């Protein structure tokens, strides 16, 4: 497990995965197209640390471009792949489903084909709790059918999961599907709740809360990275196919998150209550017992501690309205 390809390497979760892999002494190749879905300058900042490392190579390119992906495989010869490149965001996918289809399904297919062509390279495939929709009993178990996605984003991620299984069935490609639950922490996307709420509190803005009872299984990014690497070790050992929830298994009302952020930031703002968006689930809740049994996944960071860590980073960062002057 010495050479790894990480797609979407300049993104939130992937940049943390890259840093951890480099810290463990692995040779890492990152692939990212620096999509302007949010400010590419933030993504450039995400990769600063990795670019200082002699064992890191960054390729600027798109997973939807099969030729770019093929070059990455031919030159870098990865021994396993972490596919984190994706068009994320539930609500925006409703307005622009075509771009989600291109990146998430076409890009995902390209990765699967490249892995097979180059000798069945084991693949960790990032997915989302959004695939469970609103009809799955809580806590969500991987055995649920996940047949009724509520958004184009969820539909494209579920389609990628199904295609991955097909490639395992036809070609014996080793795949671990990883369903992430509401990940937050340093380098988080600006359209995510923790970042949006923090900005609103520091700029006298307004928070729009979609549903009073809305709850999420907030999971700190370091715990997710632990899960990704644990799943990778399992995959390279077992060389099979399986799906794993990676969450904290403690759904918390979004209203509670707002209160925690307000206390840590020492600031507050108006909260306007609205209806739950039809593209979103009211509650997400992960049953992580399968991941725990397979590779010892056990998240350690509480929401209280995670929010504290987020605020400490955010106030120092260029992403804060204070411009790193906090």
Tell me, what's the pLDDT at 326?
44
Cα→Cα distances 66→61, 103, 116, 136, Å? 10, 12, 13, 35
CB 14 within 8 A of CB 37: no
Structure tokens at 223: 């715990």
How is residue 290 annotated by DSSP?
Answer: H
Class of domain 3-183+219-249+285-299: alpha beta
Query: What distance in Å separates the CA atoms of residue 247 and residue 251, rounded to the nearest whole number?
Result: 9
pLDDT, tens only, 124-152: 999 999 999 998 999 999 999 999 999 99
Catalytic residue status for 153: yes
Half-sphere exposure of 155 (CA within 13 A, CB side): 14
pTM: predicted TM-score of the whole model, two decimal places:
0.96
Structure tokens at 173: 């490609």
pLDDT in tens, the chain (326 residues): 589 999 999 999 999 999 999 999 999 999 999 999 999 999 999 999 999 999 999 999 999 999 999 999 999 999 999 999 999 989 899 999 999 999 999 999 999 999 999 999 999 999 999 999 998 999 999 999 999 999 999 999 999 999 999 999 999 999 999 999 999 999 999 999 999 999 999 998 999 999 889 999 999 999 999 999 999 999 999 999 999 999 999 999 999 999 999 999 999 899 999 999 999 999 999 999 999 999 999 999 999 999 999 999 999 998 887 665 54
pLDDT, tens only, 246-305: 999 999 999 999 999 999 999 989 999 999 999 999 999 999 999 999 999 999 999 999
Tell me, what's the pLDDT at 63?
97
CB 248 within 8 A of CB 189: no
Q: Which of 209, 221, 227 is nearest to 306 (CA)?
A: 221
Query: What distance in Å separates the CA atoms of residue 56 and residue 18, rounded to the nearest whole number?
Result: 9
- Give CA 242 to chain center in angstroms: 18
Q: Which of 38, 56, 100, 153 is catalytic?
A: 153
């Amino acid at each position: 497990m010495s050479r790894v390809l990480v797609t979407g390497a300049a993104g939130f979760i992937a940049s943390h995965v890259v840093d951890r892999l480099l810290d463990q002494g692995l040779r890492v190749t990152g692939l990212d197209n620096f999509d302007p879905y949010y400010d590419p300058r933030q993504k450039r900042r995400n990769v600063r640390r990795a670019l200082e490392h002699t064992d890191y190579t960054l390729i600027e390119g798109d997973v939807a471009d099969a030729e770019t992906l093929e070059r990455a495989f031919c030159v870098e010869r990865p021994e396993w792949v972490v596919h984190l490149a994706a068009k994320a965001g539930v609500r925006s996918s409703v307005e622009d489903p075509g771009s989600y289809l291109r990146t998430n399904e076409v890009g995902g297919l390209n990765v699967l084909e490249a892995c097979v062509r180059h000798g069945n390279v084991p693949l960790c495939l990032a997915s989302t709790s959004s695939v469970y929709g609103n009809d799955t009993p809580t806590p969500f178990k991987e055995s649920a059918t996940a047949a009724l996605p509520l958004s184009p984003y969820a539909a494209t991620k579920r389609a990628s999961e199904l295609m991955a299984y097909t490639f395992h069935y036809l070609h014996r490609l080793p795949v671990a599907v990883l369903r992430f639950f509401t990940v937050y922490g340093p380098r988080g996307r600006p359209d995510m709740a923790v970042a949006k709420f923090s900005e609103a509190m520091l700029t006298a803005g307004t928070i729009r809360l979609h549903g009073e009872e809305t709850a999420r299984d907030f999971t700190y990014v370091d715990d997710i990275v632990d899960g990704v690497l644990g799943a990778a070790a399992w995959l390279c050992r077992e060389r099979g196919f399986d799906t794993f929830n990676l969450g904290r298994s403690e759904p918390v009302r979004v209203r509670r998150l707002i209160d925690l952020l307000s206390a840590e930031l020492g600031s507050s703002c108006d909260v306007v209550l609205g209806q739950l968006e039809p593209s979103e689930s009211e509650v997400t809740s992960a049953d992580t017992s399968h991941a725990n049994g397979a590779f010892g996944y056990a998240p350690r960071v509480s929401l209280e501690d995670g929010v504290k860590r987020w605020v400490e980073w955010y106030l120092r960062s260029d992403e804060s309205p204070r411009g790193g002057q906090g």
